[in-house]
Amino acid sequence: MIEAFHIEALAHISPAWPVIIGGLIAAIIPNFTLRKALALAVPVMALVLWFNPAAPGTYGIIEFGGFTLETFRYDPLSRIWGLVFIIAAFINAIYGLHEKDRLADTMGMIYAGAGLGAVFAGDLLTLFFFWELTAISSVFLIWGSRNNAAYKAGLRYLAIHILSGVLLLAGAVIRASETGSWAFDETLSIETTGGFLIFLAFGIKCAFPLLHNWLQDAYPKATITGAVVLSAFTTKLAVYALARGYAGTDILIYIGAVMTAFPVFFAVVENDLRKVLAYSLNNQLGFMVVGVGVGTELALNGAAAHAFVHIIYKALLFMSMGAVLLRVGTVKASELGGLFKSMPATAVFCLIGAASISAFPLFSGFVAKALTLAAVAQEGHVIVWFVLIFASAGVLEHSGIKIPYFAFFAHDRGLRVREAPANMLIAMFLAAALCLWFGIFYGNLYEMLPFPEAALYYEPYTFDHIVGQMQLLLGAMFAFTLLVRFGLYPEEKRSENVDSDWVYRRFGDGALRWIWAMMDRLTAAIGNVINAVGRKLGGRMFQAFSPIGALSRDIPSGLLAIWTSALLAIVLLIAYLAP
């Protein structure tokens, strides 16, 4: 553990607050420089608060409306997630320094702060508040692209995430009514109704299979900086929530295994390189979910370590593609190639991110993924282990090779653009340096893990492990060169691959439109029937009771009306006088 200093006056302030308040202040600051200075300052303030607690415990307790809200639970699990969120917020702030968008600055900070708030939440109500705040603030990073596709994707994203929040609240309320507890801890169980709904809420945000497509739908349509920011917080918050509440839940092992494997196939033929990264994100989350599912100390260390390094190298990859998008105007693989000639520094940073995610020795992915794989094998989940090894080769395919190869090498399209702006290069440099730092000095990472003793007992750089990993990577790279050489690698072409979003974007939308049209026709038909019956009945009544009707043939209807009134008056009089 890193030694903490202590300022008592700040002991109860969660690192989330300065970041959120900074975001709110940014909303009213028109001056660009001041706003950017604030965006850089708030993560530093958060870091001071992160260091501050003298010991693990629950701080920042607020009594509100009969509820006890725990806003700052500081323990080994929240501590590592909190730290990497703060690092991400700082690097993202540097990356976005060139962007003149007050709304993006505001929402970026509030979103990061909400992520921190959720990580440090000690009860389900506090978690719910920050959970929804992440959804509401982050959607503006998608809408910030200011085009119709982004607007629609943002709406879908918001709807799905609000649904996640509603499920979380419903589950929490049901659980509280059954047990009287709002605790956000390991007592959550999928075997209870409330616990299952909360699990589902976490699963949506974690992009479980078939619930995943909001990610591939929204992230590629976000702004350049927005995609980088989005990649850091939402899904990793969900992994944290699962680790906090559902560690050791067996079904997570299989859900995670599926998550690692299926995105690989989609990523192979995806043309939009930011969408490839979104699929890759899904794949990486799978490793973490498996770790949470296995639930041993080693496995949870694996999930935490993977989340930590993943946030950094995934941000690095998104940053490099963001730089390409800024300079070239597209990240379609079919339009790119040869960019190392124009953007050599960006290419190098992208390669470092690619090597990290592919788990090359000396890079951060190697020391993190090893923990999960060892835990899965130790616990005897052999089939899942084989799936994870397959998925490791898959990661190399889409993030290790496809992203850098098609953007910076492959066919030179003659694109001669400027290198990325200085602030982007600095942000990428910092992220790349951390990828190498934690890959080489892995002890710094391991000592921050939830179970540092178990982590420091594990040695990632054994001869066997290095040889095995190099075999895997070189075998896969040999396959790539061979497939390309013999024309067996699919060409990049402008296309769209439908995914599970087809269910609601095409089938669901079509079904709703059909139901709406049928309802329209049914309403019209019922109206016609009522009108026809009304007309028929009215006609009959008219024929019987009108002044020219059947009943008026012998006695004039006016006289009959007088007699009817008189009879009614007599009846009322009798009723009134009767005892």
394 binding another protein? (CB under 8 A): yes
CB of 472 to another protein, least distance (A): 4
Give the integer Cα–Cα distance in Å for 122 and 68. Answer: 10
Among 472, 549, 557, 560, binds another protein (CB under 8 A): 472
Using CB under 8 A, which residues numbered 131 to 150 contact another protein?
145, 147-150
Q: Which stretch binds another protein (CB under 8 A): 164-172, 311-319, 387-395, 540-548?
A: 387-395
Among 35, 310, 332, 369, binds another protein (CB under 8 A): 332
467 binding another protein? (CB under 8 A): yes
CB of 109 to another protein, least distance (A): 26
Q: One symbol per residue from 436 to 465: x for binding another protein (CB under 8 A), - otherwise; what is it?
A: ---------------------------xx-
548 binding another protein? (CB under 8 A): no
Q: Are 73 and 62 in contact (CB under 8 A)?
A: no
512 binding another protein? (CB under 8 A): no
Using CB under 8 A, which residues numbered 268 to 297 contact another protein?
268-269, 272, 274-275
Among 133, 267, 276, 359, binds another protein (CB under 8 A): 267
How many CB atoms are closer than 10 A to CB 563?
10
Nearer residue to another protein within complex by CB, 35 or 398: 398
Q: Hunting for tokens 């835990």 — which residue is that?
A: 375
Q: Are 350 and 407 in contact (CB under 8 A)?
A: yes
Among 433, 474, 517, 544, binds another protein (CB under 8 A): 474
Q: One symbol per residue from 402 to 431: x for binding another protein (CB under 8 A), - otherwise; what is it?
A: -------x-xx-x-x--x------------
Give the integer Cα–Cα distance in Å for 449 and 259. Answer: 24
Nearer residue to another protein within complex by CB, 411 or 535: 411
378 binding another protein? (CB under 8 A): yes
Total residues contacting another protein (rule CB under 8 A)?
80
324 binding another protein? (CB under 8 A): no
468 binding another protein? (CB under 8 A): yes
Q: Are 213 and 501 in contact (CB under 8 A)?
A: yes
* Geometric angle at alpha carbon 364, from 120 and 51, rounded to 5°: 30
CB of 252 to another protein, least distance (A): 20
6's tokens: 């202590």
Nearer residue to another protein within complex by CB, 27 or 268: 268
Distances (CA, A) of 29 to 6, 106, 120, 229: 32, 10, 28, 21
| 3-class state of residue 11 by DSSP | coil
389 binding another protein? (CB under 8 A): yes
Using CB under 8 A, which residues numbered 195 to 234 contact another protein?
220-221
484 binding another protein? (CB under 8 A): yes
Q: Are 145 and 40 in contact (CB under 8 A)?
A: no
**DSSP string for 24-55:** HHHTT---HHHHHHHHHHHHHHHHHHHH--SS
Q: Which stretch binds another protein (CB under 8 A): 94-102, 201-209, 245-253, 466-474?
A: 466-474
- Give the residue ranges of DSSP H helices in 269-378: 273-294, 297-328, 344-357, 364-378
Q: Which stretch binds another protein (CB under 8 A): 134-142, 380-388, 520-528, 543-551?
A: 380-388
DSSP state of 56: S
Nearer residue to another protein within complex by CB, 27 or 345: 345
Nearer residue to another protein within complex by CB, 71 or 392: 392
Residues 6+ apart with CB under 8 A from 61: 12, 68, 69, 70, 71
Q: Which stretch binds another protein (CB under 8 A): 58-66, 123-131, 472-480, 569-577?
A: 472-480
Among 187, 481, 546, 564, binds another protein (CB under 8 A): 481
Burial category of 438 from C-beta neighbours within 10 Å (exposed 0-12, middle 13-18, buried 19 and up):
buried
8 binding another protein? (CB under 8 A): no
Give the integer Cα–Cα distance in Å for 441 and 428. Answer: 19
Q: Are 215 and 281 in contact (CB under 8 A)?
A: yes
Task: Give the total residue count for the chain.
Answer: 579
| 3-class state of residue 188 by DSSP | coil
499 binding another protein? (CB under 8 A): yes
Q: Which residue type occupies 447?
A: E
DSSP state of 448: T
CB of 336 to another protein, least distance (A): 12
